[in-house]
Structure 1
Amino acid sequence: MDKFSDMAMFVSIVKHQGLAAAGRDLSLSPATVTARLQALEERYGVKLLNRSTRHVSLTESGELYYKACIEILDNVSEVENLIQNGVREVKGSLKVVAPKDIGKQYILPILNEFSELYPDVVPYLYLNDQISNIAESGMDIVVRYGELADSSLISRRLAPSRRVLCASPEYLAKHGTPSTPQDLVNHSCLVMLRSNEELKTWHFQERDKKKSITVVPRRFSDDGEVIRRWAVEGAGIALKSVLDVQADITNLRLVTVLNRYMKNFNTSMSVSSADLNVVYISKKYQPKRIRLFLDFLFERFNDLVEESEKSRM
């Protein structure tokens, strides 16, 4: 078998989390997939997968090989597309994942506009706050808040942002406005869940002084859009990205509090820790549809930032 077929098989095993499932995807018997995987590992002299009867996981060498396979196969697909359809035609899938609030308020209309310009590009929009392994997710573009630890990926700032504490005017009129972080223990707070972790310890900084407060949760959700809606409905105080709630603040549905403090879900208080970023796998030959959408996305967000700055003047 040629190396490209082996790469496609290996990617299918990882994607479908099993040799039998990959065999069904590629119309190969489980015995054939097993034999080819063993031959692949013998060829390179390394173990690529940890295998059990129900699960497979990448070894360190396997992760390197998987990332290389994805990039090479994508590049080959792009070259084939250019040869068959000409350099001017833009087509293929475009997989984008974003947090629900940002995804619905900003990414969705931008993606709709892009689709009108390039109707042969098929968009996939995933609304998910939980993407952790971008390389294995199959996504082309990940929109996310905060700094990036994985240096093998490209991360570019899409828009500056910051964390704000916010509540509805009705809630504050009924329960009072906190004047210090410590006052939050006497308030109903709306708390995010992230990978089943309750983000109920909120961190504050005023000048050089730092303080952490464990709030009293009124409600929990792993969906940032739900947290925002609860805040608008008067259920309590939420810690949100200002981009998520800007329209609510502008229209007086939400009011920010404790504005003299920097705030975050973790101890990082760097200026960029709450910025909105675009993350993607570094590729020497980025497919044209992805390059075009990245340029389009940054252009639209630049317009949004400029409009926001004008409205504050």
Structure 2
Amino acid sequence: MDKFSDMTMFVSIVKHQGLAAAGRELGLSPATMTARLQALEERYRVKLLNRSTRHVSLTDAGELYYKASLEILDNVNETENLILNGVKEVKGALRVAAPKDIGKQYILPILSEFCEKYPDVVPYLYLNDDVSNIAESGIDIVVRYGELADSSLISRRLSSSHRVLCASPDYLAKYGTPLTPQDLINHHCLAMVRSHEELKTWHFQGSDKKNVITVLPKRFSDDGEVVRYWALEGAGIALKSILDVQDDINNRRLVTVLNGYMANFNTSTSVSSADLNVVYMSKKYQPKRIRLFLDFLLERFETMKNGGK
């Protein structure tokens, strides 16, 4: 088999997270897929994939080969389009993951606008913030608060942010407004669950000392949009990113409390820990449609920061 076919096969294996599913896409039997992968690894004398009965993961060498294969295959596709159509077409799948609140309020309209400009791009929008391994997940771009631990990825800030405590006017009228972080013990708090951890230890920085409060939440969710909905309906006080609730605050659907304190889910007091970032593999290894969308996304957030539309 030629090297181009091997690259196509390897990218398919990573995309489908298995040899059998990739073989079905390529019309090859499991035995043929196994033999070709073994031959590929023997050619380079290095292991490219760690395999179990249900899962495959990239080795360091495999990740290098995968990234290079993506770049080469995309360049070939662009060259074919140029020859056939006389122009560089922008087409193919674009997979973006974002937290539900941010995804619906910000990323969805930006992605729709981008696809109107490039109608041959097929968008996939995944509304979650649990992606930790971009290469293995098949996601091209991750929008998230904070940064991923993987130092091989690139992270760029889309927007500065900070967390606020907020509640509906009806809730505050009924239960009163907390004046100190300690007052939250007696309030209905709404908390997130992340990776099975209940985020109920909230950190505050006052003018003179640090406060760590373990609240007693009345409701939990692993979905930030659900927590925001509960706050809007008057169920309690939520700790949210200002970006998630800015429109609600502007329209007085929610009111911030304890504004003299900086709040977070963890011990970090760094403002950047709450910033919204876009995380991706090096542009050097990205297809053109992904590079263009990254530029488009950064441009739109810059425009919003400057008060434009």
Question: TM-score, length-normalised on structure 1?
Answer: 0.90
**1:203 maps onto 2:206 in alignment:** no
| Contact persistence 1:166–1:255 (CA under 8 A) | yes
After TM superposition, the structure 1 = structure 2 runs for residues 111-260 of structure 1, keeping only pairs within 5 Å, are 111-207=111-207, 209-260=209-260
Letter in 2 for 1:271: V
Indicate the larger mover: 227-236 or 61-70.
61-70
Match of 1:36 in 2: 36
Indicate the larger mover: 291-300 or 236-245.
291-300
1:242 CA drift (Å): 0.2
Match of 1:106 in 2: 106
Match of 2:72 in 1: 72
Give CA deviations for 1:224-274 in whole Å, capped at 9, x if unaligned: 111101001011111111010001000111111111111212222212111
Residues 83 and 98 of structure 1, relative CA distance in 2, 3 Å threshold: farther
Structure 1 vs Structure 2 CA RMSD: 2.2
Give CA deviations for 1:179-203 in whole Å, capped at 9, x if unaligned: 2222222211111122222212222
DSSP 3-state at the match of 2:211: strand
Match of 1:271 in 2: 271
Give CA deviations for 1:156-182 in whole Å, capped at 9, x if unaligned: 111111111111111112112122222
Residues 306 and 267 of structure 1, relative CA distance in 2, 3 Å threshold: same
Question: TM-score, length-normalised on structure 2?
Answer: 0.91
Indicate the larger mover: 45-54 or 195-204.
45-54
What CA distance in whole angstroms lies between the structure 1 residues aligned with 2:190 and 2:306?
31
Letter in 2 for 1:200: K
Letter in 2 for 1:171: Y
| Contact persistence 1:204–1:211 (CA under 8 A) | yes
Match of 1:304 in 2: 304
| Contact persistence 1:147–1:272 (CA under 8 A) | no
DSSP 3-state at the match of 1:61: helix
Indicate the larger mover: 259-268 or 278-287.
278-287
Letter in 2 for 1:104: K
Give CA deviations for 1:48-104 in whole Å, capped at 9, x if unaligned: 333333333333433333333333333433343344334454333322221111111
What CA distance in whole angstroms lies between the structure 2 residues aligned with 1:68 and 1:192?
39
| Contact persistence 1:75–1:286 (CA under 8 A) | no
What CA distance in whole angstroms lies between the structure 1 residues aligned with 2:290 and 2:23?
30
Residues 54 and 115 of structure 1, relative CA distance in 2, 3 Å threshold: closer
